[in-house]
Amino acid sequence: MAFGAILERFIEMSPIPVMVRALLERVLTAEKLESCFENVAEKQYTRELLFSSLFELMSLVVTKTFSSINAAYQSRKVDIGVSITSIYNKLNGLETGVSAALVQDTAREMSDMVYQLKGECAPLLPGFRVKMLDGNCIKATEHRLKVLRDNAAGALPGKSLVLYDPALEMATHVFPCEDGHAQERSLLSSVLNVFETGDVIIMDRNFCVRTFLFGTAARGAFSICRHHKQMPYVELDELKRVGDIETGEVSEQWIEIENEDGTKAKWRRIVIRLEKPTRDRELEIAILANLPESVADAKLVAKLYRKRWTIETMFQELEAYLQSEINTLGYPKAALFGFCVALVAYNVMAVVKAGMRAVHGEEKIANEVSGYYIAGEIGRTHEGMAVAILPQEWEVFQTMKSEAFIAIFLRMAGNVKIEKYKKHKRGPKKALPKRAASQGKPHVSTAKLLKEIKKSP
């Protein structure tokens, strides 16, 4: 398919921003965004300000194209046609259900694209859908709201549980909560509704709750969960050593867990005696699993639990590559919407990486490509590309058949020059030397110190 000369030049020289824009045109059209809002919103309604306009403004901030909602608004003021006060009023009242539906709906469509591209990662457990569950608390905001101004404590605008698919490298569901102090366990009833037969959920000890583990099993899903010491169990046999993995010695035993309603079930308790302590200085961790031994032995379960770091990496990348936590948004609904838009942006980048995996290979992308440089190019190129390429030129991505879209997407992935986004792995950190303090000398001259070094033999 032929495009305009300028668009073709971008496809050839800077394909990743074009891939992103093509995905946005296909998955995040104004019609789909408005449909998402109308299907979920219970109290808010659309009059002059469209939900799609809010999404566009927030995405410009999340991708670091603009530093704030106000700055993004100034660039789109004429097109939006409402005041900045109206923007903030709409953001501050945006229902969390809309934000959650935005992530889920777009993730479903983008997941299908990853499979069509044949760009998914190798499965961690063939024949099963492995997923990671973890929580994220949005960092404290500025004290802009009147209710916060005379309070010195950190203002937490909310937290979320996120379900992550490591095969897609994508967040598939989010469960936002406005109460920043809420226990993650209070959100678990909503999480159960999205589990399906054949899912394997890997999670930390915060989710080691009997009703949740039994509820997961009732959905036909399996759990690999770190044991919380407060959860009781009955030993059915002795702990027996079964072998070693990279991090230590693995032992296993059968236990019985009783649910609050009296229901009982047999589980495996797998203990790893670590060679190096955890961040909490623990030398032993215990994992509970109800996967059949024929599917995963104790050593494989231990290795699968080690993969839980992938969702923590996602949270780190959200903070490093995108502006996922906007500390000027004090109202919980607005802050949570910003976090959810960041998840959508992260998922868009995941589809781009899937296309690159399909062309260049999984190992090359995993070992050599840095998401930091990808995000940087997208942010730098966005405005210039918007000026150079007319809006109607992008509309072709909305209407082309799926096979044609996948073909052009793979063509663009083939144009990506991997060396532009190469990771720079740092060596081991060196211990910091002790710093000498001189009384009465709060400052030193760097220039003088450098001269002294040159003079010394």
pLDDT in tens, 329-360: 888 999 999 999 999 999 999 999 999 999 99
**CB crowding 355-368: b at 16 or more within 10 Å, else e:** bbbbbbebeebeee
- DSSP-based helix, strand, coil % in the chain, nearest 5: 50, 15, 35
pLDDT in tens, 392-442: 899 899 999 999 999 999 999 999 999 999 887 766 767 777 777 666 777
Considering the domain architecture, whether residues 335 and 194 belong to the same structural domain is answered as: no
Average pLDDT over residues 151-174: 91
Considering the domain architecture, whether residues 155 and 274 belong to the same structural domain is answered as: yes
Q: Is residue 12, in this structure, part of any structural domain at all? A: yes
pLDDT in tens, 168-202: 999 999 999 998 888 888 889 889 999 999 999 99
pLDDT in tens, 363-392: 999 999 988 888 888 888 877 888 888 888
Q: Is residue 454, in this structure, part of any structural domain at all? A: no
Considering the domain architecture, whether residues 363 and 414 belong to the same structural domain is answered as: yes
Angle, helix 15-27 to helix 96-117, in steps of 10 degrees: 120
Structure tokens, 164: 């992550």
Q: How far apart are CA 288 and CA 63, in angstroms?
A: 39
Q: How far apart are CA 13 and CA 23, in angstroms?
A: 18
Considering the domain architecture, whether residues 294 and 336 belong to the same structural domain is answered as: no
Q: Last residue of some domain: 314, 339, 367?
A: 314
- Only one residue has tokens 């074009």, namely 18
Structure tokens, 425: 């792995």
Q: Is residue 114, in this structure, part of any structural domain at all? A: no
Considering the domain architecture, whether residues 409 and 346 belong to the same structural domain is answered as: yes
| Residue 386 belongs to domain spanning | 5-96+316-421
Structure confidence at residue 153 as a pLDDT band (50, 70, 90) = confident
Considering the domain architecture, whether residues 261 and 376 belong to the same structural domain is answered as: no
Q: Is residue 373, in this structure, part of any structural domain at all? A: yes
Q: Is residue 158, in this structure, part of any structural domain at all? A: yes
Strands 248-258 and 240-245: what pairing?
A: antiparallel
Q: How far apart are CA 213 and CA 409, in angstroms?
A: 41
Considering the domain architecture, whether residues 184 and 279 belong to the same structural domain is answered as: yes
Considering the domain architecture, whether residues 197 and 302 belong to the same structural domain is answered as: yes
Q: Is residue 331, in this structure, part of any structural domain at all? A: yes
Considering the domain architecture, whether residues 144 and 133 belong to the same structural domain is answered as: yes
Considering the domain architecture, whether residues 82 and 218 belong to the same structural domain is answered as: no
Q: How far apart are CA 3 and CA 11, in angstroms?
A: 9
pLDDT in tens, 224-243: 999 999 999 999 999 999 99
Amino acid 403: pLDDT:
95
Considering the domain architecture, whether residues 66 and 186 belong to the same structural domain is answered as: no
Structural domain total, the chain: 2
Q: Last residue of some domain: 273, 296, 314?
A: 314
Considering the domain architecture, whether residues 185 and 326 belong to the same structural domain is answered as: no
Q: Is residue 154, in this structure, part of any structural domain at all? A: yes
Q: Is residue 430, in this structure, part of any structural domain at all? A: no
